[in-house]
Amino acid sequence: MSDQLEKALEAAFEEATKRYQANGFQRRVGFGKKPALISVDLANAWTRPGNPFTCEHVDDQIIPSMQALLKAFRKYNLPVVHVTTCYQITDRNNPHTDMGLWHDKIPVDVVAQSNPELWAIDSRIAPIEGEQLLIKKRASAFHGTYLAGFLRAAGVDTILVTGVTASACVRETICDGLADGFRTIAVKEAIGDRVPGAVLWNLFDIDAKFGDVETTETCLKYLDKVGAEAAAAKAA
Catalytic residues: 169
CA distance 39 to 82: 5
157 within 8 A of 31, measured Cβ to Cβ: no
Among 200, 226, 229, smallest CA distance to 69 is for 226
Torsion of CA 129, 59, 84, 51, to 10 degrees: -140
**DSSP per-residue letters across 118-137:** HHSBPGGG---TT-EEEEES
How many alpha carbons lie under 13 Å from residue 15 in its C-beta half-sphere?
A: 5
How far apart are the C-alpha atoms of 10 and 13, rounded to whole Å?
5
